[in-house]
A and B are shown apart, each in its own frame.
Chain A
Amino acid sequence: MMLSRVAERIYWSARYLQRVESSARIVNTYTSLLMDLSKEVDISWFNLVMLNNAEEEYVSRYKVRDERNVVKFTLADDTNPSSMLMSLAQVRENFRTTRDVVPEDAWEMINELSSFAQESIKNGALNRAKREEFLSQVINQCQMIQGYIASAMPHDAVWDIWVIGRSLERADMTTRLLEAGAGILLGDDIANQVQAPPIIWGNVLRSSSAHHAFRRAVSPRVTGNEVPKFLLFNDQFPRSVTYCLIEIKAAVKKLPKQRKVLESFKGLDQLIMVTPLFNHVDDQLDAQFLAYINKLQLQLAKLHQSFSETWFSLAGR
């Protein structure tokens, strides 16, 4: 038994909590990437904004596209609906309105995380010297909440909806990280830099906590197209797009009115199983790759659409 309205809010709680973690990860990756790449390479911090399709929001608030502004916009700006702090506020708001189904302590934990993030940012945690430590703590706390929920929430419909929201957001974030990596590599400055690709893909892996898994599953050396391949198609690594989709599908199969939802997987299955990229090791990560990622993102959005129509639509009517 699960109210449509509750289902919708749980779904968004899961998505937003994952988004908080993802925002922290992606800013961490960028920060460390900048330290690794040679000074001549000019990576634009503005890429981060484009990655989240938030150019308009950004331009209406800031003139200068520098690190300080982008980091502030991405993490702390409370007028940017997709900033980390706003995502946190959304988790809190959604937990608050579903407190009868969310395990008690999760509410306390999200309150703690909210006040910790706000306090730290007020005290300068976004400055480079403190940023990494702060963001790592945010990531840890997010995972703590995820872990707590996984072990304290009954694995019933509420949990299935939670998994669906979390995994969809994860898959989406993985595609964005890949888009970020490929985007940098396609830049003009980078073209002649031989050492750049392994640095970039190494950081993309680390941002997904995937470097260790990659080394064990693929190769100790981070080479060429192997990273996107791993993060897209590996069916054992929890943050790969394929794995996330397996999880979503399994959860959908446990929920009512699943037939229609399962049908909307067709497009994704086509992209993932039928037309895998990189049949050759030296396939280029070019515009075609970016177009592929784009298609994936569109299909993920379609999936969301079908969840919404199937399970949430009774709410509010």
Chain B
Amino acid sequence: MGINWKQYSPDVFYDELINQSGNPRLPAKKLASYLQSLDHDEVQRRQHLADAAIQDMGISFTVYTEEGNIDRSWPFDIIPRTISAKQWRTTEKGLIQRLEALNLFIDDLYHDQKIIKDGVIPRHILEQSTNFRKECIGISPPENVWAHICGTDLVRDSDGEFYVLEDNLRVPSGVSYMLENRSIMKRVLPELFENDRILPVNDYCDNLFDTLCSLVPDKESPEIVVLTPGIYNSAYFEHAFLAQQMGAELVEGSDLTVAKNGYVYMKTISGLSKVDVIYRRIDDMFLDPNVFHKDSVLGVPGLMKAWQSGKVALANAPGAGVADDKVVYAYVPQIIKYYLDQDPILPNVETFLCHDDKQREYVLKNIDKLVVKPANESGGYGMLVGPHSTKKDQATFVELIKKNPRNYIAQPTLSLSTAPTLVGNDQPEPRHLDLRPFVLQGKKSYVTTGGLTRVAMKKGSLVVNSSQGGGSKDTWIVDTEVKS
């Protein structure tokens, strides 16, 4: 006996595959019936095949706390998550709109700060932003784009709509897992790809390459490198993967040097060789020990100056993280309206700003119901999930918020959507998930077809971060309008 969907109950949540009455949604129809046709052993066999493929591919995510174990494989669930192509087209537009507005916003902050002068955003938000870099004031990167690569976290609430949870504009990771997940799926369940029209995802690296090339408009084939902090970084796998896919050099800080003429060179077996574009995957603060952390060995001395004088392009530009702040996030609808004069296509999750007296009062009163996040952390660290927390945790956060209200925001605990996931039992169980599409902006804009679906493998858990025990699934954008 195989999977029986009649036994599957998504409860009160929106389930991506199965509706409330236990029937598969349209984009998941063929998938569900095919899975049902496989017997138990066959399903198990496919899952083992996927696990073995992951081992062999070495897909791994470093977890800092697991000492000595620097590449723990990342759990992968073979039941994909489906989204209709029609819904995705709207989502895509919303993501592009959002990144365009954010780039205009960043550029404005480092120039005239019109949005503050016009009173749309309070000045103190900028003054207390930890990611605003005064070294970037007055700089105009190519096309006036600062954040070329953005990972936007989307969640689906119980109403079935996508909401933006977070914009990651610094060094977002995960795209390689999206690509690898698809290639695992093709190995493990090839027959599914014959039945359904599943849109391909593999043009990301070409588009990333084009985006990076567009940063040096006057050069036919610029020299592009991917700058990694090295093997101990959690996303090293991805850095290597992207470099390999783009045919770019994967460099560490010590491979680069800024010469007397102010240009950046890499150290090769034939001597020094000029670099035009650096896709940097290290944080601002480690880029250049002359300007930021003095003891950083990851960066390149003199790199900021080379960038400021236009002698090398950096993606993302330093300082782009100023918009990657959960307080700024709350203002994105106004930012879109202000720069583009459009209504946001994708809604934000309702957000309470703790620096506002009224909103803070509400947050402190309802802390057991809310999710509290620090404004500038990523990776799910340092947050409080009210309904899943102890009184003691709540008291700690009340103190933290009172001490530094600017640094905290709160959101209602969302009823994150679920999808059927194999968790060791015969029958799949609903697990919560989110979606991280990747958005590119250079001369042109691009959105990945779908994105990376992250799953909280623990029952009831809402934390999907790989650093906190999450797993992932392949994400299918299914075109249901084509008659086959």
Contacts and interface: CB of A to CB of B under 8 A. Distances in A.
Interface of A: 1-7, 93, 96-101, 104, 107-108, 111-112, 115, 157, 161, 255-257, 311-312, 314-317
A314 B273 contact: no
Contacts of B269: 2-4, 7, 157, 161, 255-257, 311-312
A100 B249 contact: yes
Contact of A256 (B241, B244, B249, B270): B270
> Number of contact residues on B: which range applies?
20 to 34
For the complex of A and B, the 4 pairs showing the least CB-CB separation, nearest first, are A256-B270, A99-B240, A100-B243, A314-B267
B57 interface: yes
A8 to B, nearest CB: 9
Interface string B239-271: 011011000111110110000000000111111
B423 to A, nearest CB: 24
Given A99-B250, A100-B249, A316-B254, A3 B55 contact: no
A4 B273 CA distance: 11
A5 B270 contact: no
A314 B252 CA distance: 13
Contacts of B400: none
A97 B231 contact: yes
B255 A5 contact: yes
A98 B254 CA distance: 15
Interface string B353-364: 000000000000
A93 B271 CA distance: 25
A108 B56 contact: yes
Contact of A5 (B57, B248, B254, B271): B254
B240 A2 contact: no
A104 B242 CA distance: 12
Contacts of B244: 99-101, 104
Contact of B267 (A5, A112, A157): A5
Nearest to A313: B267
Given A6-B249, A99-B244, 13 more contacts: A1-B268, A1-B270, A2-B268, A3-B249, A3-B268, A4-B267, A5-B254, A5-B267, A99-B240, A107-B58, A256-B271, A312-B269, A315-B267
A1 B55 contact: no
A3 B266 contact: yes
A93 B236 CA distance: 12
B58 A108 contact: yes
A2 B55 CA distance: 29
Contacts of A104: 244
B209 to A, nearest CB: 13
A311 B267 CA distance: 10
Contacts of B266: 3
A108 B53 CA distance: 9
A170 B420 CA distance: 53
Contacts of A108: 56-58
A276 B382 CA distance: 72
Contacts of B251: 3
Contact of A315 (B55, B236, B255, B273): B255
A255 B269 CA distance: 8
A211 B366 CA distance: 82
A112 B57 CA distance: 9
Given A256-B269, A257-B270, A314-B267, A5 B56 contact: no
Contacts of A257: 269-270
A6 B254 CA distance: 12
A108 B254 CA distance: 28
Contacts of A256: 269-271
A108 B236 CA distance: 16
A260 to B, nearest CB: 13
A4 B58 CA distance: 25
Interface string B211-247: 0000000000000001000110000100011011000
Contacts of A112: 56
Interface string B268-287: 11110100000000000000
Given A3-B266, A100-B244, A111 B255 contact: no
Contact of A317 (B252, B267, B273): B267
A99 B242 CA distance: 10
B55 A115 contact: yes
B248 A111 contact: no
26 contacts: A1-B270, A3-B249, A3-B255, A3-B267, A4-B255, A96-B236, A96-B240, A97-B230, A97-B240, A99-B241, A99-B244, A100-B244, A100-B249, A104-B244, A107-B58, A108-B57, A111-B55, A111-B57, A115-B55, A256-B269, A256-B270, A256-B271, A314-B267, A314-B268, A314-B271, A315-B267
A250 B267 CA distance: 24
Residue picked from A4, A7, A111, most chain B C-beta under 10 Å: A4
A104 B244 CA distance: 8
Nearest to A157: B269
Contacts of A315: 254-255, 267
Contacts of B255: 3-5, 315
A288 to B, nearest CB: 39
A233 to B, nearest CB: 31
B250 A100 contact: yes
A127 to B, nearest CB: 26
A98 B226 CA distance: 12
A317 B252 CA distance: 12
A98 B244 CA distance: 9
B254 A317 contact: yes
Contacts of B241: 99
Nearest to A7: B269
A166 B244 CA distance: 23
Contacts of A316: 254
Contacts of A157: 269
A152 B184 CA distance: 22
Contacts of B226: 100
Contacts of B267: 3-5, 314-315, 317
